[in-house]
A and B are shown apart, each in its own frame.
Chain A
Amino acid sequence: NAGVTQTPKFRILKIGQSMTLQCTQDMNHNYMYWYRQDPGMGLKLIYYSVGAGITDKGEVPNGYNVSRSTTEDFPLRLELAAPSQTSVYFCASSYSGRAPYEQYFGPGTRLTVT
């Protein structure tokens, strides 16, 4: 299994540009998450999904959109990029049944908006 994969690894955007961060998992996990990590701060949840076709906002959703058309993929869309969105973005997935399960993280995407 490849686990959780993210593309791209690095990206520089100009203010106002748009882009999609890709996330794919091959573990058949029902839960998927997008986080951002700013220097000196803890990870913050942007959006999460409990299954295909179902998404919900996290702590910091403004400026982002997501979709979950398949179990495997959970892309994160940035519209009209702003410098405040400069961060490292992590995708994660977990299985969730009656008991909580651990999260598996992707390698991260380092995004700079200038």
Chain B
Amino acid sequence: KNEVEQSPQNLTAQEGEFITINCSYSVGISALHWLQQHPGGGIVSLFMLSSGKKKHGRLIATINIQEKHSSLHITASHPRDSAVYICAVRNTGNQFYFGTGTSLTVIP
């Protein structure tokens, strides 16, 4: 069983829709990261959070430490949001565990 599970694996949305990607983890963590991987392969960090909620533009990330769950929301989705979104957790020993990613396609 993976330490980090994401759902859904694949997601297709119409432009403008509100999108939610979920992440559950089973290890004790010091932080949770949301990453974005574009079709070209490059990986960028979107958020790092250890409690509560963070917002950056149309992206919102929340975490519930007690339930070991995080969500990434995209409001007013756009075709340029099409990418793979990866949840990663950093354990207390400073190692990272990654989910398999959610492949998002936003159709104009």
Q: Tell me the A residues contacting B by CB distance below 8 Å.
A: 31, 33, 35, 40-45, 48, 50, 58-59, 88, 90, 92, 96, 100-105, 107-108, 110
> Nearest Cβ distance between residue A70 and chain B, in whole angstroms?
20
Option from A42, A58, A88, A110 in Cβ contact (under 8 Å) with B95 = A58
Q: Tell me the B residues contacting A by CB distance below 8 Å.
A: 2, 4, 30-31, 33, 35, 41-45, 48, 50, 86, 88, 90, 94-101
- CB contacts (< 8 Å) of A103 on chain B: these are 33, 45, 88, 96
Known: A42-B4, A43-B86. A107 touches B99 (CB 8 A): no
7 additional A-B pairs beyond A100-B48, A108-B42, A110-B41, beta carbons within 8 Å, are: A41-B100, A45-B97, A48-B94, A50-B94, A90-B43, A105-B42, A105-B44
Interface of B is mostly: strand
> Nearest Cβ distance between residue A98 and chain B, in whole angstroms?
11
Interface centre among B43, B90, B98 (most CB of A within 10 A): B43
Tell me whether A100 and B42 are in contact (CB under 8 A). no
Tell me whether B98 and A42 are in contact (CB under 8 A). yes
Tell me whether A31 and B42 are in contact (CB under 8 A). no
Known: A100-B90, A102-B48. A88 touches B41 (CB 8 A): yes
Known: A43-B86, A96-B94, A108-B41. A101 touches B100 (CB 8 A): no
